[in-house]
Amino acid sequence: MKITFLGTGTSQGIPIIGSTHPVCLSDNPKDKRLRCSAMITWGDNVFVIDCGPDFRQQMLRENVSKIDGILFTHEHTDHVIGLDDIRPFFYREKKDVSLYAEQRVFDALSSRFHYIFDSQNNYPGTPNVLTTVIDSNSAISLGNKKIQPIDIVHGNLPILGYRFDNLVYLTDVKKVPEHSFKYLKNIDILVVNALREEEHFSHFTLKEALAFIEKIKPRKAYLTHISHLLGFHDEVERNLPPNVHLAYDGLELELNENI
């Protein structure tokens, strides 16, 4: 199994349009972050977690020619607004594109992308989708694996993370309910957000993310959904614990015995 970080930035991406902040002006490719998303692959299976405004660019960069489905964490714009760009996959594969989300998320998507979800008013070229409503009480079958949704809280909004084998992907976390910790044991790779050092109402700060990692004790942790305010990639990386790293766009990690 492999995870590819499609994007590791916060909702505005880095660089922010018009910003003169030093991180936004950095020449280091690791300081340039598209909106947060990841791709999980094993065998012939290709699943994407979230599809934000940079989805098309991410698919082109990684040379992705087919996907088996998209899992949504929540309905915020930076995690869903690229949905229209599933059209090439539908045209090529000639089959419905599978989407997995909570009912509340599908309600929001149906409002924003009514032309995709309204079967009565489709126009030529509309992609067909196959929707599966999920919740944290039941694992879902993807390919030959059972994937476990995990309840987390983003500000006041309940959202989902996902566990694939011993890989856990959590983004936009501010709080983790106690009942979710049963899914956070014996983790090889934990992906979790760390927005910045200053307090934020709906995202872990770096300090909060590190405290969470210390509590969970994964073999390795990678930080994502990063703001320019966290600082330069290389400087932040040097000051992290040995088993914690900053993720960056395009980073690929294999889950094996040598991680």
Note the pLDDT tens digit of each residue in 5-59. 999 999 999 999 999 999 999 999 999 999 999 999 999 999 999 999 999 999 9
> What residues contact residue 19 under an 8 Å CB cut-off, 6+ apart?
25, 228
Mean pLDDT value across residues 91-116: 95
- 258 pLDDT band, cuts 50/70/90, is very low
Mean pLDDT value across residues 109-114: 95
| Distance (Å, whole) CA 171 – CA 159 | 9
- Outline where DSSP puts E strands in the chain: 2-7, 37-42, 45-49, 69-71, 97-101, 129-133, 140-142, 145-154, 157-164, 167-169, 189-193, 220-224, 244-246, 252-254
Boundaries of domain holding 76: 2-135+147-248
Q: Is residue 49 part of a domain?
A: yes
Q: Is residue 86 part of a domain?
A: yes
Give the rounded percent of residues in the chain with a pLDDT score beyond 70. 98
Q: Is residue 168 part of a domain?
A: yes
**How many separate domains does the chain show?**
1
Residue 217 DSSP symbol: -
Q: What is the pLDDT at residue 125? A: 80
pLDDT at 259 over 50: no
| Distance (Å, whole) CA 158 – CA 168 | 17
Q: What is the pLDDT at residue 119? A: 75
Q: Is residue 253 part of a domain?
A: no
Q: Is residue 254 part of a domain?
A: no
CATH number at residue 81: 3.60.15.10
- 256 pLDDT band, cuts 50/70/90, is confident
Single-letter amino acid code for the residue at 70: I
Q: What angle do CA 198, 201, 207 make, to 5 degrees?
A: 40
Are the C-beta atoms of 212 and 204 separated by less than 8 Å? yes
Q: What is the pLDDT at residue 257? A: 46
Q: What is the pLDDT at residue 122? A: 67
What's the whole-model pTM score? 0.96
Give the chain's mean pLDDT. Answer: 96
Q: How many CA atoms within 13 Å lie on the side-chain side of 22?
A: 6
Q: What is the pLDDT at residue 121? A: 62
Q: Is residue 142 part of a domain?
A: no
Q: Is residue 140 part of a domain?
A: no
pLDDT digits (tens, 9 = 90+) for 135-174: 999 999 999 999 999 999 999 999 999 999 999 999 999 9
Q: Is residue 257 part of a domain?
A: no
